[in-house]
Amino acid sequence: MFNTLSDRLTATFKNIKGKGRLSESDINATIRDIRMALLDADVATTVVRHFTSRVRERALGAEVSKALNPGQQVVKIVNEELVQILGGQTRPLTLAKRPPTVIMLAGLQGSGKTTFAGKLARRLRDEGHFPVLVAADLQRPNAVTQLEVVAERAGVPCFAPERGNEGGAAQGAEGTTSYGDPVWVAQAGVGQARVRQYDVVIVDTAGRLAVDEALMKQAADIREAIQPDEVLFVIDAMIGQAAIETALAFQQGVDFTGVVLSKLDGDARGGAALSVASVTGRPIMYSSTGEGVKDIEVFHPDRMASRILDMGDVLTLIEQAERAFDQRQSAEMARKFMDEEDFTFEDFLEQMNAIKKMGNIKALMGMMPGMSGMRDQLNSLDEREFVRVEAMVQSMTKFERTHPKAINGSRRARIAGGSGTTVSEVNQLLERFTQAQKMMRQMRRGGGMPGMPGMGGMPGGGGAKRGKQQVKKKGKSGNPAKRAQQEQAALAKASDARERSFGNAFGAGAEEPTEDVKLPKGFEKFLGQKD
């Protein structure tokens, strides 16, 4: 969504990062480039004016002029001010003290309310809640049916006593010509939740193609009837400058408590959506990043600012990995590593399934710092390759998955035929897998990863060539007692190296960072605590 804005800002900062001193003209030129980048991204003019004035004021102050690296200090200022226009702090969902918690969704037609209702319900279900969806959109054709399908995919119940405008025909509950009363449906849904002990009610309301009085009156009547704990305004992140006008109209007519950015995986400029929090004073709470029922993220202003400035979003990546990777599987992988058991295709298949649970591969890789320079490679990534690899592994017998060396020519031909691939592709997979096994063995011995700069066992960070000088090995003593002592010391040294490698690979046994190590905000909770 924000690729163009990110590229423009990154290019701007490259001009100042290497300078030891910044003049007023340097800062003015940087501010001008930032202003043009934000305006081109459809950020509201009032927000751009306030943002650039704050950056200019701070950049011309003492915090930059006295900094050891003025360029990086300006980037830090831009990051902090960007966090402020995105809302400042993460705002969690407000849950009722006495269930059920009632959440009302509002927005224009086509903004993604119905899809988001299913995503939110699935997320709350995974967090241990018991949500129910209420179909109060009775005017859009087949809106009730769509919500029922979404609820089924999310694995949650749907309360739909009225069929609404089904198939374009106006039919109500008793065969009348009305579509039904959405206010009554919303009230009845909340009542059913209390009776059936659901602790969260998500009410999907009707939208229009444009803001009008009838829409606002109906939404206001529903809010008055059910007294929701949260009113979430779902806005399409790709609608441009109309986002501000629409948000202000809904704030005046319904008075929402939070904003949801939908279709954040699109390729539009999307800057106007970033202005919503600053203009309305209401926080952005969730972002919808795809079509899948799990493609929903809690909106963290600091993390989104880091993504826009190409600093990555490692914390979100870690959180998604924690949800996707099963603790039992991780413990089993750690045990195999310590017991020096070879990595098998069964393990490979489990890891692939866990990665698929994390979501879109391109989106995950895009969370890594500095990935803007590899955007072309990311865009050219064919995710169907993962499907082909999985098909090849699935075509192997159980024996072949645990004994890849036994896969001869005839077996390779059978695997290729069963997976719809070629023998050459099977050969490439086996070759890459053999390299992965070698890497795991080297890590176990404390040698680091082959070819990786700065890792153990790689002179000069892996870039220098090994000299031909051989290290003279110390001979074994002829004294039996002394030889036994030497062998015991060697075993202890090998065990220590293996444990260090295990700590590096799986995060176990690692020492806590010293105070001078700068970590991302909030990263401390992911570090193990000493007993």
**Residue 175 pLDDT > 50, yes or no?**
no
Lowest-confidence range among 40-54, 333-347, 486-500, 512-526? Answer: 512-526
Q: What is the pLDDT of residue 176?
A: 37
**Residue 167 pLDDT > 90, yes or no?**
no
Average pLDDT over residues 426-433: 86
Residues that constitute the known binding site: 107-114, 204-208, 262-265
In sequence order, the 6+-apart residues with CB closer than 8 A to the CB of 75 are: 13, 17, 309
For a pLDDT cut of 90, what percent of the chain falls above it? 16
Q: What is the CA radius of gyration of the chain?
A: 29
Q: How far is CA 494 from CA 57, 368, 375, 446, 506, in A?
A: 58, 34, 42, 8, 18
- 18 burial via Cβ count (<10 Å: 0-12, 13-18, 19+): exposed
Average pLDDT over residues 129-150: 90
**Cβ neighbours around 286 below 10 Å, total:** 22
Q: What is the pLDDT of residue 121?
A: 94
Lowest-confidence range among 138-147, 224-233, 276-285, 334-343? Answer: 334-343
In sequence order, the 6+-apart residues with CB closer than 8 A to the CB of 457 are: 442, 446, 447, 448
Q: Which alpha helices (DSSP H) does 271-383 contain, by range?
A: 271-280, 301-308, 314-324, 327-338, 345-358, 361-366, 375-379
Q: What is the pLDDT of residue 448?
A: 47
In sequence order, the 6+-apart residues with CB closer than 8 A to the CB of 435 are: none
Residue 459 per-residue DSSP state: G
Q: What is the pLDDT of residue 204?
A: 92
Average pLDDT over residues 246-266: 84
Determine the straight-line distance between the first and last CA of the chain, rounded to whole angstroms: 44
**Residue 444 pLDDT > 70, yes or no?**
no
Alpha-carbon dihedral sign for residues 518, 519, 520, 522: negative
Q: What is the pLDDT of residue 185?
A: 92
pLDDT in tens, 487-506: 777 777 766 655 554 444 43
Q: What is the pLDDT of residue 206?
A: 87
Q: Reading across the β-sheet that carries 158-159, which strands appear in turn? A: 158-159, 131-136, 200-205, 101-106, 230-236, 258-262, 284-288, 296-298
Lowest-confidence range among 116-120, 184-188, 278-282, 517-521? Answer: 517-521
**Residue 466 pLDDT > 50, yes or no?**
no
Average pLDDT over residues 453-475: 43
Q: Which amino acid is located at 56 in the chain?
A: R
Q: Are 55 and 73 in contact (CB under 8 A)?
A: no
pLDDT range class, residue 371, cuts 50, 70, 90: low
Buried b / exposed e over 204-243, threshold 16 CB at 10 Å, is bbbbbeebeeebbebbeebbeebebbbbbbbbbbbbeeeb
Q: What is the pLDDT of residue 268?
A: 57
- Per DSSP bridges, beta strands 200-205 and 131-136 are parallel
Please provide the average confidence, as pLDDT, over all residues in the chain. 74
**Residue 238 pLDDT > 80, yes or no?**
no
**Residue 123 pLDDT > 60, yes or no?**
yes
Lowest-confidence range among 166-170, 281-285, 464-468? Answer: 464-468
pLDDT in tens, 24-75: 888 888 888 888 888 887 788 888 888 888 888 888 876 666 655 777 778 8
Lowest-confidence range among 303-312, 480-489, 498-507? Answer: 498-507
**Cβ neighbours around 191 below 10 Å, total:** 14
Q: pLDDT higher for 47 or 121?
A: 121
Q: What is the pLDDT of residue 131?
A: 94
Q: Which residues pair with 132 in a beta bridge?
A: 201
Which range is most confident: 72-76, 140-144, 193-197, 468-472?
Answer: 193-197
Backbone φ, ψ for residue 326 (5° rounding): -75, 135
Q: What is the pLDDT of residue 133?
A: 95
Q: Which residues pair with 232 in a beta bridge?
A: 105, 258
Omega into 100 within 30° of 0, i.e. cis?
yes
Q: What is the pLDDT of residue 276?
A: 84
- Per DSSP bridges, beta strands 169-170 and 165-166 are antiparallel
Q: How far is CA 377 from CA 8, 277, 364, in A?
A: 19, 33, 14
Interatomic CA distance for residues 224 and 276, integer angstroms: 24
- Which candidate, 102, 82, 86, places its Cα nearest to that of 94? 102
**Helices 45-59 & 24-40 angle (0-180, nearest 10):** 160
Interatomic CA distance for residues 57 and 54, integer angstroms: 5
Q: Are 204 and 140 in contact (CB under 8 A)?
A: no
In the chain the domains, ranked by start, together with CATH numbers, are 3-85 (1.20.120.140), 101-309 (3.40.50.300), 318-452 (1.10.260.30)
Backbone φ, ψ for residue 501 (5° rounding): -65, -40
Average pLDDT over residues 470-498: 66
Q: What is the pLDDT of residue 456?
A: 37
Backbone φ, ψ for residue 260 (5° rounding): -120, 125
- Lookup: tokens for 485: 């002592």
Average pLDDT over residues 442-465: 45
Residues that constitute the known binding site for GTP: 107-114, 204-208, 262-265
Name the maximum alpha-carbon separation found in the chain. 103
Q: Are 389 and 429 in contact (CB under 8 A)?
A: yes
The whole-model pTM stands at: 0.61
